[in-house]
Homo-oligomer: A and B are copies of this chain.
Amino acid sequence: MGFSSHFIRASAALQHHPSKFLVLVALSSGSLVAYSESQPDAVTSAADLTQKEPRKKRLVVLGTGWAGTSFLKDLDVSQYDVQVVSPRNYFAFTPLLPSVTCGTVEARSIVEPVRKIIRKRKGDIDFLEAECYKIDAANNKVLCRSIVENLVGPKEFSLEYDYLVVAMGAQVNTFNTPGVKENCHFLKEVEDAQKIRRSVIDCFENAILPGLSEEERRTSLHFVIVGGGPTGVEFAAELHDFFSEDLVNIYPMVREFVKITLIQAGDHILNTFDERISSFAESKFARDGIEVQTGCRVLSVSDKDISVKDKAKGQIFQVPYGMVVWSTGIGTRPVITDFMEQIGQGKRRVLATDEWLQVKGCQNVYALGDCATIDQRKIMDDISAIFKAADKDNSGTLTVEEFQDVMADILIRYPQLDLYLKSKHLRDVSDLLRDPQGNSRKEVDIEGFKLALSQVDAQMKSLPATAQVAAQQGAYLSNCFNRMELCKKNPEGPLQFKGSGRHSFRPFRYKHFGQFAPLGGEQAAAELPGDWVSMGQSTQWLWYSVYASKQVSWRTRVLVVSDWTRRFIFGRDSSRI
């Protein structure tokens, strides 16, 4: 094909999208030919495009959940050759999943195509709808497989990377309870929520068929939720609202038979929240007639009933059900377990990263969100190195002033120290260095120093597996990637106590902005920053406004708000689709 035909094709293209193609021509002039010929084969074309300029680093991102999307949103893609792999070509606003189960919000209102999110960025990002089934750390390669059925062409492909960002999230944790996979609903993906919605309607349609005994009708309308965390509690609340506000009018003949039971292994529901919220939720549920069975463990689930053990009494009893939703925490995906074995983390339960989200044992791989956990360095592991770095005159003792000089770095490197100071109401270093009797000291030796800091590491806490943490990690990491070159030259992190110089970046630090627990009937509870707790209808309105504002695009914002409005006016739809 000669130049002229390309020219014609390019001109035709220009008529359709003048601005877009002008940019392309200006940026990569000669390589337009390569683009239009072989762009679809992303790997090849990327190679073609970059032959003439110094090759950009290849960055592969796995996953488009909260962590991955938040990373991509702020990434300066002009610096990298980015490829994103995920089995979902959309980002889902997961905190609204429980609302989707009952049609308070539509599934499509909480999703946004990944391509629309990344298209706003300058430069090119390739998105590939596939799942990564193996990370080959030794060869800097990921092996992927398309999720499309009846595929045209090869189903598998591999991508090479210079940097890999793993943000694949976690999977449901059944704790190997028999029958859970086969008989329970989950609530992690959009499809799960859609299935639950159909299933709720099925239970009602089932219950009113002729020929059932009263017992069978009761069973069909017994909704069981296993797990009293925020998701399980919110789903129970949504279900109760769905029934009492909408379904009772449509299926009045079975109103007496409906029952919702929440099974919780711990002593209280919402036990990661403030106690006041826990008991507010429990008394709200008691008023609503939602049965909460605390201290109970599920032993197995058959297609007819659940086998439950009351831990205190030691009794085992059978609970017949119409539908079970399993919502009890998260587990590691097989691909991550396999990766962990490759890099010497085989004995751990969760993939560990350092405080810069870099996977331990793997230079160029980063992991964030629910698929990894930050393994915070203990201050006691570095205590001698810290002492040595602080003791500038090599006197063998540390003065208050010497300690003060490195204090800022220590606080950044070991955030548990800050928590410790706050928990002990200590104001500064001199307080910390007081002797066991409480008298202030001018200087301490290594043993005294160790003793003073010996309780600090007890303050370490791993971060919860929430959207908030994942989103902050994504934003943090993209910021690091954007300033990679800059910060290598001008490190902005704390002192390297072991080794020399400074870390390139400040470590990731999580800021907790609070947490909501919607409880149904226009009631919500919230933990707000500064140990505030807010409960009631006004909190529900706060919830509406926060969740509306947090939407990823104007489209989803408009849709979610109009869904809420529609629900107020017309109620929820009970069609089985």
Quick one: given A40-B207, A148-B202, are A212 and B577 in contact (CB under 8 Å)? no
Is residue A7 within 8 Å, beta carbon to beta carbon, of the partner chain? no
Bound-state CA distance A336–B217 (Å) is: 32
Nearest chain B CB to A33's CB is how many angstroms away?
14
Q: Inside 8 A of A577's CB, which chain B residues have their CB?
A: 90, 107-108, 111, 190-191, 194
Rounded to whole Å, the gap between the CB of A217 and the closest CB of chain B is 5
Whether A265 is near chain B, meaning CB under 8 Å from some CB there, is no
Confirm or deny: A436 has a beta carbon within 8 angstroms of a beta carbon on chain B.
Answer: no
Q: Which of A55-63, A246-254, A280-288, A378-386 contacts B (4 or more CB under 8 A)?
A: A246-254
How would residues 249 to 276 of chain A score, 1 for a CB under 8 Å from any chain B CB and 0 otherwise? 1111110110000000000000000000
- Given A129-B576, A573-B108, A573-B113, residue A205 in contact with residue B42 (CB < 8 A): no
Q: Is the CB–CB distance between A40 and B157 below 8 Å? A: no
Segment of A409-417, A503-511, A555-563 engaged in the interface with chain B: A555-563
With an 8 A cutoff between CB atoms, is A115 at the interface? yes
Cα A213 to Cα B44 in complex, Å, equals 12
A208 adjacent to chain B (CB < 8 Å): yes
B40 & A206 in contact (Cβ 8 Å cutoff): no
Does B211 lie within 8 Å of A41, measured CB to CB?
A: yes
Asked if residues A575 and B206 are in contact (CB atoms below 8 Å), the reply is: no
CB pair B116–A250 under 8 Å, yes or no, is yes
B-chain residues with CB within 8 Å of residue A39 when the two chains form the complex: 253
Q: Is A303 an interface residue, CB under 8 A from the partner?
A: yes
For A112, what are the chain B residues with a Cβ–Cβ distance below 8 Å? 575
A216 and B250 in contact (CB under 8 A), knowing A206-B146, A559-B566, A575-B111? no
Find out whether the CB atom of B219 lies under 8 angstroms from the CB atom of A152: yes
Q: Is A138 an interface residue (CB 8 A)?
A: no
Whether B153 lies near A213 (C-beta < 8 A) is yes
Contact B107 A574 (CB under 8 A): no
**Nearest CB on B from A200, distance (A):** 12
Contact B152 A220 (CB under 8 A): yes
Q: Measured between alpha carbons, how far is A111 from B90 in the docked complex, in Å?
A: 25
Nearest-neighbor residue (CB-CB) of A39 within chain B: B253
A16 to B20 Cα, complex, angstroms: 60
Distance between Cα atoms of A20 and B569 in the complex (Å): 20
Against B, the Cβ 8 Å flags (1 = close, 0 = not) of A33-74 are 000100111111000000000000000000000000000000
Interface contact A210-B573, CB-CB below 8 Å:
no
A89 and B303: CB pair below 8 A? no
A428 contacts B by Cβ under 8 Å: no
Please pick, from B16, B153, B191, the residue contacting A209 in the complex, using a CB distance under 8 A: B153
Q: Which residue of B lies closest to A42 (CB)?
A: B210
Q: Does A570 contact B (CB under 8 A)?
A: yes
Q: Does A322 contact B (CB under 8 A)?
A: yes
Contact of A212 among B40, B106, B573, B574 (CB under 8 A): B40
Question: Among residues 187 to 223 in chain A, which have CB atoms less than 8 Å away from a CB atom of chain B?
Answer: 190-191, 194, 201-203, 205-214, 216-217, 219-220
Question: Which B residues are in CB contact (< 8 Å) with A20?
Answer: 252
Given known contacts A150-B303, A209-B153, is B219 in contact with A111 (CB within 8 Å)? no
A129: chain B residues at CB < 8 Å are 205, 209, 576
Most buried by B among A20, A159, A194, A209: A209
Contacts of A208 in B (CB 8 A): 40, 42, 126, 128
**Residues of B with C-beta under 8 A to A213:** 153
A146: nearest residue on chain B (CB-CB)?
B209
Flag whether A377 is at the interface (Cβ < 8 A). no
Interchain nearest-CB distance for A323 vs B (Å):
9
By a CB distance below 8 angstroms, the chain B residues around A573 are 108, 111, 113, 555
A115-B250, A152-B206, A576-B90 known; A157 vs B211 contact (CB < 8 Å): yes
A41, B191: Cβ atoms closer than 8 Å: no
A130: Cβ under 8 A from any B Cβ: yes
Contact of B152 with A89 in the complex, beta carbons under 8 Å? no
Determine whether A119 belongs to the interface, using a CB cutoff of 8 Å to chain B. Answer: yes
Most buried by B among A16, A129, A191, A206: A206
Report chain B residues within 8 Å CB of A249: 17, 119
- Within the complex, what minimum Cβ distance (angstroms) separates A524 from chain B? 24
Q: Tell me, in angstroms, the Cα distance from A103 to B214 when the chains sit together.
A: 42
Docked Cα-Cα span, A531 to B302, in Å, equals: 64
Q: Which chain B residues border A1 with CB–CB below 8 Å? A: none
A154 contacts the other chain (Cβ, under 8 Å)? yes
A88 within 8 A of B: yes
In angstroms, how far is the closest chain B Cβ from the Cβ of A129? Answer: 4
Q: Which 9 A-B pairs have the closest CB atoms?
A: A90-B575, A129-B205, A153-B216, A153-B212, A152-B220, A555-B570, A39-B253, A111-B575, A148-B202
9 further A-B pairs in the complex, CB-CB below 8 A; given A128-B205, A146-B206: A40-B212, A89-B201, A108-B575, A111-B575, A115-B574, A149-B202, A152-B220, A153-B211, A154-B211
A-B contact pairs, 13 of them (CB 8 A): A40-B217, A42-B208, A89-B576, A106-B108, A108-B575, A113-B574, A115-B251, A116-B574, A148-B202, A148-B203, A151-B206, A153-B209, A190-B577
